[in-house]
A = this chain, B = another copy of it.
Amino acid sequence: MAEEMTEDLLRIGELASRAEVSRRTVDFYTGLGLLVPTRSGGNFRLYQPADVQRIAAIRRLEAQGIRLDEIARLLTGETEDAARAAHSEGSGPASPATLEGYLSSLDAQVQALRDLPEVTDHGTRGVLAGLVGRAQVLIATALILSDELLPGAEFLPPL
């Protein structure tokens, strides 16, 4: 069984063609730590089949204007900085910035935005709509990725 999994590993050319990006791009992403291949005896990089979805996820995140270095952090699991970079509170460690925490803050603030007295200024309405629209697209992206990114293949019946 461990044998079987090893046979699935991909070299850069194969991964690039499945993910529909150039080898050079896979190389570049690997250099940035976005992809973490193992190495073959002959020093070839060996990627997981799931790295195809990982690349798709990276592209989706890039499309949302998230920088590659932050994508690397998110994929690696270093959550903390996200809030700090944008807000720079600076004081205590406070909350560990969990998914649930963000979701409740988001709920509360959306409510606050609804409770706002009617905004009449044209430009201001545009800005608010733009920001809320962006937030909405981010959440939509989260939903899509929660579906695509999970290593579902491992749990699929052999069929």
Contacts and interface: CB of A to CB of B under 8 A. Distances in A.
A21 interface: no
A125 B116 CA distance: 32
A65 interface: yes
Given A110-B110, A137-B86, A146 B124 contact: yes
A142 B137 contact: no
| Copies of the polypeptide in the assembly | 2
A82 interface: yes
Interface string A94-134: 00011100110111011011101001011111111111111
Nearest to A96: B129
Interface string A17-53: 0000000000000000000000000000000000000
Interface of A: 57, 61, 63-66, 70, 73-79, 82-83, 86-87, 97-99, 102-103, 105-107, 109-110, 112-114, 116, 119, 121-143, 145-146, 149-151
28 contacts: A64-B86, A65-B66, A70-B130, A74-B129, A75-B126, A75-B127, A76-B126, A78-B126, A83-B133, A83-B137, A86-B133, A87-B137, A98-B129, A99-B129, A99-B132, A102-B132, A105-B136, A105-B140, A107-B110, A109-B140, A113-B139, A116-B146, A131-B141, A131-B145, A132-B138, A134-B135, A135-B138, A135-B139
